[in-house]
C-alpha cells in the first residue's frame, strides 16, 4: 500500500506547490492524476520516488517511510518504485535488452553492472516481460530504431524489471499518437492487474483517464479537489479542476472505447 499524508512541497521560498496532499492506494488500482499545467502532478509523483525532496509530510510504501531516507536505504527503497517517463528515457545507442536490463542496476553489484553480466534469472525475466508486451523480437535492436510506442514498451519493461511495488507513469502517452497512447494505457491497465501492481499515471487526456483508469485524482493549485471513480467525474468536477485555466478537448466524452476491453500487446 502507498500512503501519502499531508504532503507539502515548496520549491525554495516560493508558495507551496503541494499543499498537504493525502492519498491512499491499495491493491492493483490504476489511478490517474489530472490537473492543469502547473497543478503539481509531476511534483507529486517525483516526491514519491524522491526525485524531488518533499518539504514535509509522510509517504509510506508497504510500511516503509520514504521521506528522509538517505544513501543505501534510499537506493533500496527506490528499487521498489518503477517509473515510466513521457520521453521514455532510454539509452538510444544501447540495445533494447541492455535498456531493459538497466532496470536491474539497483540489484546487481558494480562488477556485474560494468561488465553487463546479469544473472540468468534477470535475462529470463527480461525475455518474459518483453514477450508479454510484444517487443522480444527487438531484443538486439538499438533502442533508437524503435517507434515511439515500442520505445515506451521498453520503458515499461525496464520499470517492471525492478520488481516494483508501485509503478509511477509521468505523462506516459504524451509523446505518442492517439492510437498508440490508447494501446499503452491498455497495457498499463492489464499489467497492473496481472502483476497486482498499483499504478499512478499523470495524464492530461481526461478522456483516456476516464476510460483506462478506475480512479481519478484531480489537483488544482497543489490541492486535491477530486478523488473518485470515472463515472463521478462530471462537468462540475471538470470545471472545479480546470475552470478558468484550461479546457481539455473531449474531456468528458467517453472517447476511446473500441478496444478498451482488451490489450493487443
Ligand X SMILES: Nc1ncnc2c1ncn2[C@@H]1O[C@H](COP(=O)(O)OP(=O)(O)OP(=O)(O)O)[C@@H](O)[C@H]1O
In the complex, which residues of this chain contact ligand X (CB under 6 A)? 11, 17, 35, 37-43
- Cβ-based nearer residue to ligand X, 43 or 173: 43
Q: How far is the CB of 33 from ligand X (least distance, A)?
A: 8
* Cα–Cα distance for residue pair 82/90, rounded to 1 Å: 14
Task: Decide whether 11 or 236 has the Cβ nearer to ligand X.
Answer: 11
DSSP string, 160-185: HHT--SEEEEESTTTTS-HHHHHHHH
Minimum CB separation of residue 34 from ligand X in Å reads 9
- Note whether 9 and 47 are within 8 A (CB): yes
Which residue number, 81 or 96, has a Cβ lying nearer to ligand X? 81
- Closer to ligand X by Cβ: residue 1 or 11: 11
Of 131 and 246, nearer to ligand X (C-beta) is: 246
CA distance 223 to 239: 15
| Beta carbon nearer to ligand X, 135 or 184 | 184
**How far apart are the C-alpha atoms of 238 and 226, rounded to whole Å?**
9
Q: Which residues contact 16 (CB under 8 A, 6 or more apart)?
A: 8, 9, 10, 55, 222
Beta bridge mates, 23: 4
Contact 251, 207 (CB under 8 A): yes
Q: Are 58 and 65 in contact (CB under 8 A)?
A: yes
> Smallest distance, Å, CB 35 to ligand X?
5
Amino acid at each position: 500500500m502507498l500512503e501519502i499524508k499531508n504532503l507539502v512541497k515548496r520549491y525554495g521560498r516560493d508558495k507551496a506547490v503541494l499543499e498537504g496532499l493525502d492519498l491512499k492506494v491499495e491493491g492493483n488500482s490504476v489511478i490517474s492524476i489530472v490537473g492543469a499545467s502547473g497543478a503539481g502532478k509531476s511534483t507529486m509523483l517525483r516526491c514519491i520516488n524522491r526525485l524531488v525532496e518533499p518539504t514535509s509530510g509522510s509517504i509510506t510504501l508497504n510500511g516503509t517511510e520514504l521521506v528522509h531516507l538517505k544513501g543505501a536505504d534510499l537506493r533500496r527503497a527506490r528499487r521498489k518504485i518503477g517509473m515510466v517517463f513521457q520521453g521514455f528515457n532510454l539509452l538510444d545507442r544501447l540495445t533494447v535488452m541492455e535498456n531493459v536490463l538497466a532496470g536491474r542496476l539497483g540489484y546487481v553489484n558494480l562488477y556485474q553492472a560494468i561488465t553487463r553480466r546479469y544473472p540468468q534469472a534477470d535475462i529470463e525475466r527480461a525475455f518474459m516481460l518483453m514477450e508479454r508486451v510484444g517487443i522480444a523480437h527487438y531484443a538486439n535492436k538499438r533502442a533508437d530504431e524503435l517507434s515511439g510506442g515500442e520505445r515506451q514498451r521498453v520503458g515499461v519493461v525496464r520499470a517492471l524489471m525492478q520488481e516494483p511495488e508501485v509503478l509511477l507513469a509521468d505523462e506516459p502517452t504524451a509523446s505518442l499518437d492517439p492510437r498508440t497512447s490508447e494501446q499503452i494505457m491498455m497495457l498499463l491497465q492489464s499489467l497492473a492487474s496481472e502483476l497486482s501492481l498499483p499504478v499512478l499515471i499523470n495524464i492530461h487526456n481526461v478522456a483516456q483517464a476516464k476510460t483506462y483508469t478506475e480512479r481519478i485524482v484531480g489537483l488544482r493549485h497543489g490541492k486535491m479537489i477530486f478523488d473518485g471513480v470515472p463515472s463521478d467525474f462530471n462537468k462540475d468536477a471538470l470545471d472545479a479542476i480546470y475552470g478558468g485555466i484550461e479546457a481539455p478537448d473531449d474531456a468528458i466524452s467517453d472517447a476511446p472505447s473500441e478496444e478498451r476491453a482488451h490489450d493487443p500487446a
